């Protein structure tokens, strides 16, 4: 933009024009900066809503995933939990973005706007007063030079030197004040950029963590999501396992067939007591919660019922049911060898997350330490973890 022509016919000073333009730009910027603060506040509040909504979503995802069947979809459940954990961590980064917007951007900008107007007014007042003085001195020097022309040559020469000095003084002042004003303006916008960059840096941590954490896992999650027509090996083993029976099946040679070991049968769950005697499944319906209550908590029902269907061992080492071989001994459980006999509890470490299916079952996370208070049967223990008591599958833990 070319400088405006002088109204008095004299050539316009570009430095003076730049000074006037800059001071006006600084004044006119106030409304747009105030609007920026308002928009920043809206952005901050919107991020807070996003964080609250996202955390509610991940909590809902965990609640939905908690019902995944342990036999068919435990691996899928773990990955759903893992993605939800990453999302929660990303929302922590988003909280840092909100803090950066508030403490590092919005509050400092508002303070700057409030202080800038008074600073500009003081600068402009000082500028005008200083140049009014210089212009007055310039007028005096011009009048002195005119009067000196009527005197001798020495007086004229001195008047010209004084006039030249005043001109240089005004030029130097204009240069100095313009540089000072340019630096004020540049400091203002460099400060805006610096605060914006701090916000971007906090957002960058959010996006970097999301890119690496989610990007590294998305391929595996897609593969797992595409495995809807296949089952884990443990599930296949449970499906194909032979049913345990306690009736000897004679072979062609007349000798009884061996009884399946504890690895078969119900694959990780205690068999209902009503099934121990070989009754047909189609003729009996049972309530799962009722069976669990009887088998796992009533020492006079489920455990004894199972004993009733077991071959009775005589004191001589044999069995009353002739021809039925003794079942193999179960693996040792309970306190480690060497512990005092009166110590009825021991500690185990959880290998996997366990989400309770009902109020009787104990929930825990992988790595939790559980104090076992009772061995309910071959597959279930009772214990304490995080102040809660309940039953849990023994194959989810390792003994310490």
Question: pLDDT (tens digit, 9 = 90+) per residue, 304-361?
Answer: 444 444 444 434 444 444 444 444 444 455 555 555 444 578 899 999 999 888 889 9
Asked whether residue 275 carries a pLDDT value surpassing 80, the answer given is: no
The residue among 99 and 245 whose pLDDT is bigger is 99
The residue among 336 and 389 whose pLDDT is bigger is 389
CA distance 237 to 284: 25
What mean pLDDT comes out for the span 233-257?
59
What mean pLDDT comes out for the span 262-273?
41
pLDDT digits (tens, 9 = 90+) for 194-214: 999 999 999 999 999 889 888
What mean pLDDT comes out for the span 381-394?
92
Tell how far CA 96 is from the center of its chain: 11
Average predicted confidence (pLDDT) for the chain: 77
State the pLDDT at residue 110: 93
State the pLDDT at residue 92: 92
CA distance 84 to 89: 9
State the pLDDT at residue 186: 94
DSSP 175: H
* Structural element, H or E, at residue 388: strand 388-393
Q: Tell me the three state secondary structure of residue 76.
A: helix
Closest-CA residue to 141 (of 168, 163, 116) = 163
State the pLDDT at residue 194: 95
Q: What's the residue count for the chain? A: 400
Asked whether residue 258 carries a pLDDT value surpassing 90, the answer given is: no
The answer to whether 167 and 138 are in contact (CB under 8 A) is yes
Domain ranges across the chain: 14-235, 346-399
What mean pLDDT comes out for the span 113-122?
88
The answer to whether 141 and 163 are in contact (CB under 8 A) is yes
The residue among 270 and 93 whose pLDDT is bigger is 93
Q: Is the domain defined by 14-235 classed in CATH 1.20.1270.60?
A: yes
State the pLDDT at residue 196: 94
Contacts 24+ apart (CB under 8 A), 25-33: 25/185, 26/116, 26/120, 26/184, 26/185, 26/188, 27/117, 27/120, 30/113, 30/116, 30/117, 33/109, 33/112, 33/113
pTM of the model: 0.53
What mean pLDDT comes out for the span 218-227?
89
State the pLDDT at residue 71: 78
CA distance 331 to 192: 70
CA distance 71 to 68: 9
Handedness of CA 331, 333, 336, 339 (dihedral sign): negative
Percentage of residues of the chain with pLDDT beyond 70: 71
Asked whether residue 300 carries a pLDDT value surpassing 60, the answer given is: no
> Counting Cβ atoms within 10 Å, is residue 55 exposed (0-12), middle (13-18) or buried (19+)?
middle
What mean pLDDT comes out for the span 37-57?
94
> For residue 291, what pLDDT band results from cuts at 50, 70 and 90?
very low
DSSP 315: T
Q: Which of 119-128, 152-161, 328-337, 348-357 has the lowest mean pLDDT?
A: 328-337
SS (H, E, C) 217-228: HHHHHHHHHCCC
Q: Which CATH class is domain 346-399?
A: mainly beta
State the pLDDT at residue 162: 83
The answer to whether 346 and 340 are in contact (CB under 8 A) is no
State the pLDDT at residue 243: 61
State the pLDDT at residue 34: 94
């Amino acid at each position: 933009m070319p400088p405006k022509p002088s109204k008095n016919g004299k050539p316009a000073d570009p430095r003076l024009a730049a000074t006037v333009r800059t001071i006006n730009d600084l004044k006119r910027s106030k409304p747009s900066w105030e609007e920026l603060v308002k928009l920043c506040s809206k952005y901050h509040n919107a991020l807070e809503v996003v964080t609250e909504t996202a955390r509610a979503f991940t909590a809902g995802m965990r609640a939905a995933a908690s019902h995944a069947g342990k036999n068919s979809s435990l691996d899928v459940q773990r990955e759903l939990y893992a993605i939800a954990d990453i999302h929660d961590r990303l929302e922590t980064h988003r909280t840092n973005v909100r803090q950066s917007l508030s403490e590092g951007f919005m509050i400092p900008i508002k303070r700057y706007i409030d202080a800038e107007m008074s600073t500009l007014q003081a600068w402009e007042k000082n500028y005008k007063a200083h140049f009014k003085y210089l212009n007055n001195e310039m007028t005096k020097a011009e009048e002195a030079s005119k009067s000196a022309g009527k005197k001798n040559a020495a007086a004229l020469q001195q008047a010209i030197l004084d006039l030249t000095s005043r001109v240089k003084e005004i030029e130097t002042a204009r240069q100095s004040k313009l540089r000072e004003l340019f630096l004020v303006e540049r400091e203002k916008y460099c400060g805006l950029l610096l605060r914006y960059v701090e916000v971007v840096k906090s957002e960058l941590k959010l996006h970097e963590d999301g890119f690496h954490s989610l990007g590294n896992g998305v391929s595996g999650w897609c593969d797992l999501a595409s495995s809807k027509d296949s089952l884990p090996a443990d599930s296949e083993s449970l499906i194909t396992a032979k049913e345990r029976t306690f009736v000897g099946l004679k072979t062609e040679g007349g000798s009884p067939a061996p009884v399946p070991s504890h690895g078969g049968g119900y694959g990780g769950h205690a068999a209902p007591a009503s099934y121990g005697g070989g009754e047909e499944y189609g003729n009996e319906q049972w309530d799962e919660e009722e069976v669990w209550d009887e088998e796992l908590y009533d020492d006079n029902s489920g455990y004894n019922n199972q004993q009733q269907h077991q071959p009775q061992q005589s004191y001589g080492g044999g069995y009353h049911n002739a021809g039925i071989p003794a079942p193999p001994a179960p693996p040792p459980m309970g306190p480690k060898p060497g512990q005092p006999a009166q110590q009825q509890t021991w500690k185990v470490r959880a290998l996997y997350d366990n989400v309770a299916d009902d109020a009787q079952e104990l929930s825990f996370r992988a790595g939790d330490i559980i104090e076992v208070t009772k061995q309910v049967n071959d597959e279930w223990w009772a214990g304490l973890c995080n102040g809660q008591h309940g039953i849990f599958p023994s194959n989810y833990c390792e003994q310490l």
